[in-house]
Amino acid sequence: DAGVTQSPTHLIKTRGQQVTLRCSPKSGHDTVSWYQQALGQGPQFIFQYYEEEERQRGNFPDRFSGHQFPNYSSELNVNALLLGDSALYLCASGTNTGELFFGEGSRLTVL
């Protein structure tokens, strides 16, 4: 049973560019959350998708957007990249049992 899978694992972009990160939730999970983890910090909640709609959002600007597809997979898009967007982006899926399952993340470097 595959866990949460994310792609790409690493990528480098320059300021002003746009990036799309992808996530497939654990089998049987229909809710996907995205987190940003800067170096030396805990994960910060970006947003959550359920039934193809954004259900909750953290304190991130509109440059951060997302999408969920009918198969529950999800994308995170970041426009007009800033140096400060460099971080590990984590995708998580969960159930009502209270355990979030995390992917290994996509490490984004903005130059």
Partner 1 sequence: AQSVSQHNHHVILSEAASLELGCNYSYGGTVNLFWYVQYPGQHLQLLLKYFSGDPLVKGIKGFEAEFIKSKFSFNLRKPSVQWSDTAEYFCAVTRGLYSSASKIIFGSGTRLSIRP
Please say which residue, 11 or 79, places its beta carbon nearer to partner 1. Answer: 11
Smallest gap from residue 106 Cβ to partner 1 (A): 12
> Which of 87, 82, 76 lies closest to 109 in space, CA to CA?
87
Helix (H, G, I), strand (E, B) or coil at 70: coil
Smallest gap from residue 73 Cβ to partner 1 (A): 16
* 67/45 Cα distance (integer angstroms): 16
Of positions 23, 85, 103, 108, contacts partner 1 by CB under 8 A:
103
* 58/45 Cα distance (integer angstroms): 5
Q: Which of residues 13-42 bind partner 1 (CB under 8 A)?
A: 29-31, 33, 35, 40-42
